[in-house]
A = this chain, B = another copy of it.
Amino acid sequence: MDAITQPPIIRLHPEDGVVIARQVLPPGTSVAPGVTTSARIPAGHKVAVVPHVKGEPVRRYGQIIGFATEAILPGQWVHTHNLAMGDFARDYAWGVDARPTEPVPVPATFLGLRRADGRVATRNYIGIVTSVNCSAHVAELIAQAFRRNPLTGEDPLAAWPNVDGVVALTHKTGCGMTEGEPLRLLRRTLGGFARHANFSHVIAIGLGCEVNQIGGLLEEQRLSGRLRNMYIQEMGGTRKTVQAGIDFVKEVLEEANRVRRETVPASELCVALQCGGSDGYSGITANPALGAASDLVVRHGGTVILSESPETYGAEHLLTRRAVSREVGQKLVDIMHWWEEYTAREGAEMNANPSPGNKAGGLTTILEKSLGAMAKAGTTNLVDVVRYAEPVTAKGFVFMDTPGYDPVGATGQVAGGANLLCFTTGRGSVFGCKPTPSIKLATNTPMYQRMEDDMDVNCGTILTGEESVQQVGERIFRLMLATASGQRTKSESFDFGAAEFAPWVLGATM
């Protein structure tokens, strides 16, 4: 694309009063109809396109990033000299920005797998959950018996084309741990996977003497009857348990294969939002584009799950304003307090303040910095807040408390029931989260081209001016529907998604 024809700015949201300079803009550059820059604007920085009176909120991503500390005219540079958070951080302003979501006139559909209980799956796997690391290898051996041979192409599941595979979900914990929240959290995670709609059948394998007893897991997670349970010690060791596991899978393959895809409304989408390996472009390309797609998901009646609590920290006031009730907002505030205690106890630190480097790059306030990640969730109301790995049942924009670290965060989201995951990355992440397909969104074209085997969408076109944020958002939404209908993602082509199962490890290892 010819550099001359590129628009000089990026508009992140239709309602924004500022736009972002794509490169250094000399004074007199046209940035909106009838608006030209009144000074040199550094690359990545903000320029006003509408007038702001002193004290008026300034919006980016359609959301408040602070308040004008003096009158700002269209064409003026907006940064620390005329923009600040003011008393914003002291006022949760519960729900003041909540507003009805405008539904779409013609709801979209996809080809989903309707389960007997009414839930809709996007994939059809057989799962093996493990209570403890001590049963991990046995679970792997069972899954291995059904794995396509990468050299010969021989596929033990060839006769059951509607079965996507056998997934062993193994981890490093489950014993040498304290009861209480560390164990409950692990059980929520395992329970969430065990009842995930993308599994037709699930085996639970334990050793027998672990702290995380399968009996307790089943009871706490109300899973009795849903799973085939096996204890290695009871079965008489490795060989017999592996054989029993293989026999079980063979026994259920015919039934598992009997699913058929049917047309279902897009409201059945439950999309986990994730970013990892972020770069300076994340906040102006892939994340806002995913936010535009998230708004579409919600307008079509579906659910998006924002997480990564440390990246929301300091900007929770943005979300409390969008909360549908004070109760929902309060849950988020409580989570942020918990994080302060957790990190203090562990000798770590919560600090979301923009660094000098952030400021040089054009970020003025904490809100703006956090929005770089939070933009993935778009602009609709916050309808619910849940703990790590809790079932997500609300329709709309839901927040789940998780760390920012991708595998741990995504594991909580998939446990919560996400049947699709969208992952934005600037540096380039390779990621999967079986049984849920993971769509990877590149923030910039050079990385997209370098890692094309792994990237599903190039959002770098926003930077080059080939597409608007909204256009890329619509493209992502269409890919969500296609992926949910069975189209393979790049990460599925490499069989990603078992190694990345990573329940959050809380508490002491004894």
Please report A residues at the B interface, Cβ cutoff 8 Å: 133-138, 140-141, 144-145, 149-151, 156, 170-172, 175-178, 180, 207-209, 232-233, 236-240, 276-277, 310, 342-343, 345-348, 403-408, 427-432, 447, 450-454, 494-500, 502, 504-505, 507-510
Q: How many chain copies? A: 2
* Residue of chain B at shortest CB distance from A350: B510
Question: Using Cβ atoms and an 8 Å threshold, which residues of chain B touch A277?
Answer: 134, 207-209, 233
Whether B137 lies near A496 (C-beta < 8 A) is: yes
- Kindly identify which residue among B403, B429, B507 contacts A347, using a CB–CB cutoff of 8 Å: B507
Interface of A is mostly: loop
Question: Using Cβ atoms and an 8 Å threshold, which residues of chain B touch A144?
Answer: 150
Whether A510 lies near B405 (C-beta < 8 A) is: yes
Question: Using Cβ atoms and an 8 Å threshold, which residues of chain B touch A149?
Answer: 149
A444 to chain B, nearest CB (A): 12
State in angstroms the CA–CA spacing of A238 and B149 once bound together.
18
Question: Using Cβ atoms and an 8 Å threshold, which residues of chain B touch A236?
Answer: 450-451, 453
A-B contact pairs, 22 of them (CB 8 A): A133-B407, A133-B502, A134-B406, A134-B429, A144-B150, A149-B149, A175-B405, A176-B404, A180-B347, A208-B277, A208-B427, A236-B453, A237-B428, A237-B430, A238-B453, A238-B494, A343-B508, A345-B508, A346-B508, A347-B508, A403-B510, A405-B510
Question: Contacts A134-B430, A494-B137 hold; do A176 and B342 have CB atoms under 8 A apart?
Answer: no
A269 to chain B, nearest CB (A): 25
State in angstroms the CA–CA spacing of A171 and B171 once bound together.
9
State in angstroms the CA–CA spacing of A175 and B178 once bound together.
24
Name 6 extra pairs, CB < 8 A, besides A137-B500, A207-B428, A346-B508.
A170-B499, A172-B172, A178-B346, A236-B451, A237-B454, A405-B510
State in angstroms the CA–CA spacing of A276 and B208 once bound together.
12
A120 to chain B, nearest CB (A): 27
Whether A404 lies near B510 (C-beta < 8 A) is: yes
Question: Using Cβ atoms and an 8 Å threshold, which residues of chain B touch A427?
Answer: 207-209, 233
Whether B499 lies near A176 (C-beta < 8 A) is: no
* Residue of chain B at shortest CB distance from A171: B172
